[in-house]
């Protein structure tokens, strides 16, 4: 069975990871989600960030090469801004979740990039796979319920840094969804 999850080691260099952490920290990372169910500090990078624009293109190209089925729906995918996430020691987004629901039905793929080495990772429910958090590693996977996942706590009590984005349908396609809501028939 095809899993449709792609791991890309060395998607970013160690220096690029350090640079992104420093940029986010110096820009003023928000702590508003730290005490919510999300358990992280965050910063949203500008869409035109050169390292991240290049990363989007490389990840999508590698995913398309591995899973050409994407071409059957890809009529112009766009990317949301990259969100930097800092999980302090004892914090993790450890609730099972997927990246797709009615509010974000336009999402197709999730990309997570690990900016730090940790003795933990992202665990997928369907097969208990754990993608280890290795600095510069990217993981690309569908946003749907088939890829329900959760983050893990670092057992060594280290800070954990990741970034994520979503490849999604273009606004013209998303506008159709908003202007044609699903009707429930009772």
H or E segment to which residue 7 belongs: strand 6-8
| Cα 78 to chain centroid, rounded | 14
When pLDDT is averaged across residues 37-59 and rounded to a whole number, the result is 88
Give the CA distances from residue 95 to residues 86, 88, 109, 149, in Å, rounded to whole numbers and listed in that order.
16, 16, 19, 8
At residue 106, the 3 state secondary structure works out as: coil
Q: What is the pLDDT of residues 84-95, one digit of tens each?
A: 999 999 889 999
Q: Which domains does the chain show, CATH number per domain?
A: 6-179 (2.60.120.620)
pLDDT value, residue 123: 96
pLDDT value, residue 76: 77
Angle, CA 153 vertex, CA 147 and CA 157 arms, to 5°: 155
Average pLDDT value over all residues in the chain? 87
pLDDT at 158 over 80: yes
* Max CA separation in the chain (angstroms): 57
Q: Which of 102, 98, 77 is nearest to 144 (CA)?
A: 98
pTM surpassing 0.75? yes
């Amino acid at each position: 069975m095809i899993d449709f999850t792609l791991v890309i080691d060395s998607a970013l260099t160690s220096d690029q990871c350090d640079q992104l952490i420093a940029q986010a920290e110096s820009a003023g990372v928000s702590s508003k989600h730290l005490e919510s169910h999300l358990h992280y500090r965050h910063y949203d990078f500008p869409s035109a960030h050169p390292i991240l624009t290049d990363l989007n293109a490389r990840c999508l190209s590698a995913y398309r090469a591995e899973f050409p089925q994407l071409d059957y729906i890809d009529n112009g995918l766009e990317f949301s801004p990259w969100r930097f996430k800092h999980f302090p020691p004892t914090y993790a987004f450890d609730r099972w979740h997927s990246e797709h629901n009615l509010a974000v039905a336009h999402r197709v793929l999730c990309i997570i990039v690990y900016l730090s080495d940790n003795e933990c990772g992202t665990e997928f429910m369907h097969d208990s796979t754990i993608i280890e958090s290795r600095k510069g590693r990217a993981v690309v996977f569908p946003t749907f319920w088939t890829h329900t996942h959760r983050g893990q706590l670092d057992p060594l009590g280290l800070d954990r840094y990741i970034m994520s984005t979503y490849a999604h349908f273009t606004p013209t396609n998303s506008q159709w969804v908003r202007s044609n809501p699903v009707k429930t028939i009772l």
